């Protein structure tokens, strides 16, 4: 995907709907995936993607620290949308990790190790096994400084084309989308690696 003209593609996709963006990218994608952690509004990207490509691989990297509400929401969506889920979890259990480090604060030197164990290692393992050329994700402008600096399409560090069909959408627009398609949402979500809502999670920057 490194040979793609990212600026030209973003210009071509400007003003397009999420469905149009997904359809356009799938014209040349050979091995696309969509990633999720079932956080708030994730249902939108999952619904839009599988509506167009029913068998699209859904990579779920579960940190092991999700709330009961998030797990219930995940299982509901997997059933409702017939998701082709590939689940990845840390090599160490949360109970094992709690015994010697707990959930370190962002100033704690152990925080990097914690983030690697619960998020980066499972994600890297998933990407290595599936080797996608296109990665659909639900990044949106206004979420973090880094996400404000990209666009609908960008390249990951590994050269995978990262596509964010809802990049320019607001929460209010997504609320309308979910209402129109009768899709559930869930806000009791916890990311142990971010601490603050506007911090980058480590997968994208």
- Range 59-82 average pLDDT: 96
Would you say residue 198 lies in a domain? no
Would you say residue 189 lies in a domain? no
Would you say residue 40 lies in a domain? yes
For the entire predicted model, the pTM comes to: 0.88
Would you say residue 157 lies in a domain? yes
Q: Hey, which residues does 153 pair with through a beta bridge? A: 163
Would you say residue 46 lies in a domain? yes
Of residues 121 and 5, which shows the higher confidence score? 121
pLDDT band at 63 (very low <50, low <70, confident <90, very high): very high
pLDDT band at 194 (very low <50, low <70, confident <90, very high): confident
How is residue 157 annotated by DSSP? T
Would you say residue 201 lies in a domain? no
Would you say residue 70 lies in a domain? yes
Q: In terms of residue numbers, what domain contains 57?
A: 6-180
CATH number at residue 137: 3.40.50.620
List, for residues 100-134, the tens digit of each pLDDT value: 899 998 889 899 999 999 999 999 999 999 999 99
Would you say residue 205 lies in a domain? no
Distances (CA, A) of 132 to 14, 49, 81, 100, 164: 24, 15, 22, 35, 15
Long-range contacts (CB closer than 8 Å, 24 or more residues apart) made by 108-111: 111/193
- Structure-token pair, residue 40: 């708030």
pLDDT the model gives residue 143: 64
pLDDT the model gives residue 198: 45
**CB-CB neighbours of 127 under 10 Å:** 20
pLDDT the model gives residue 1: 56
Total number of domains constituting the chain:
1
pLDDT the model gives residue 106: 86
pLDDT at 201 over 60: no
């Amino acid at each position: 995907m490194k040979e793609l003209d990212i600026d030209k593609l973003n210009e071509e996709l400007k003003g397009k709907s999420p469905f149009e963006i997904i359809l356009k990218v799938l014209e040349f994608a050979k091995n696309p995936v969509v990633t999720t952690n079932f956080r708030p509004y994730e249902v939108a990207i999952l619904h839009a993607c599988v509506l167009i490509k029913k068998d699209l691989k859904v990579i779920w990297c579960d940190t092991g620290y999700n709330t009961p509400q998030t797990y219930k929401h995940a299982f509901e969506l997997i059933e409702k949308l017939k998701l082709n889920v590939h689940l990845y979890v840390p090599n160490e259990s949360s109970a094992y990790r709690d015994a010697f480090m707990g959930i370190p604060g962002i100033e704690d030197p152990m925080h990097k190790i914690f983030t690697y164990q619960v998020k980066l290692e499972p994600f890297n393992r998933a990407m290595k096994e599936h080797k996608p050329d296109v990665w659909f994700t639900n990044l949106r402008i206004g979420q973090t400084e880094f996400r404000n600096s990209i666009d609908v399409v960008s390249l990951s560090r590994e050269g995978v084309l990262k596509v964010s069909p809802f990049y320019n959408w607001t929460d209010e627009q997504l609320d309308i989308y979910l209402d129109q398609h009768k899709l559930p949402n869930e806000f009791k979500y916890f990311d142990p690696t971010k601490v603050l809502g506007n911090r980058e999670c480590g997968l994208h920057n």
